[in-house]
Amino acid sequence: MNTTITEKDGKYTVSLEGELDTAHALEVEQAMQPLHDLSGKDITIDCTQLDYIASSGLRILLALLKSAKANGNKVVLSNLNDEIKDVFKMTGFIDLFEIK
């Protein structure tokens, strides 16, 4: 499981790669911690390489969304595969996030 954060033109992109299961949740959460303190920066989470996500992974995304919203930032998810999209649908997360 790889988590890569890049900054470009004041915008952040998080690339998630691999399977975000409960075992890797803590690791990803820690990797994304810096994003919680950003102000005025929009965040795009690129899920092109993300194969799998468990509820622990969803929790990380939800936590990020909450803090970004408090800071006035946008969180955009991009390139979700169908299985992950289904999980988002099941949990109602599809309505919470802006998905590209």
Partner 1 sequence: MSKLNNKPNSVRNKSSIAILITAAVLMLLISGIQQNYARKQIRNNLERNAEMELIIKAIDVRHSLEDVSLALRNRSWEFEQYLPYPDSLFAVTRRIVEENPNFAGCCIAMVPNYYSEKGRLFEPYTLRRGEVIETCQLASEEHDYSINKNFILAAENDSSFWSEPYHDEDDPKVTLITYTFPIYDASGDMAAIVGIDLSTEWIGKLLNSRHMFPSSYNLLLSGEGRLIYRPDGEIKHKDVDQIMGLVNDSTAKHTVSASGLVTIFSFVDWEDHTKGSVFYYTPKSLSPWRIAVINYNDEVFGPLIKMGWINLLLTLAGLLILAFIIQHSAKNLSELQQANLEREHIESELNIARNIQMSMVPKSDTSALREDCNIVGLLEPARMVGGDLYSYFIRDEKLFFCIGDVSGKGVPAALVMAVANALFRSVSAHEANPARIMHALNEIGCQRNEQNMFATFFIGVLDLPTGKLRYCNAGHEKPFAIGKEIKLLPAKPHLPLGVMDDMIYTAQETVLQPSESLFLYTDGLTEAKNESHELFGLKRIEKGLQDCIENESITPEKLIQTMTHRVNGFVDGAEQSDDLTLLAIQYTPQEKPLILYENLTLNNKVSEISKLNAFVQSATAALNMEKGLANQLKLAVEEAVTNVIDYAYPNGTEGYIDITIEADESRIRFILRDSGAEFDPTAVSKADTTLSIDERPIGGLGVLLVRNLMDSINYERTEGKNILRLEKMYKFAVH
What is the token pair recorded at 65? 């969304």
DSSP 10: T
Q: Is 62 in the site for partner 1 (CB under 8 A)?
A: yes
Burial 64-96 (b: 16+ CB within 10 A, else e): bbeebeeeebebebeebeeebeebbeeeebeeb
Q: Residue 3 belongs to what H/E stretch?
A: strand 2-8
**Distance of closest approach, residue 27 Cβ to partner 1, in angstroms:** 11
Q: Is 49 in the site for partner 1 (CB under 8 A)?
A: no
Q: Is 2 in the site for partner 1 (CB under 8 A)?
A: no
**Distance of closest approach, residue 52 Cβ to partner 1, in angstroms:** 6
Interaction site with partner 1 (CB under 8 A) = 19, 21-26, 51-52, 54-56, 58-59, 62-63, 65-66, 69, 82-83, 87, 90-92, 95-96
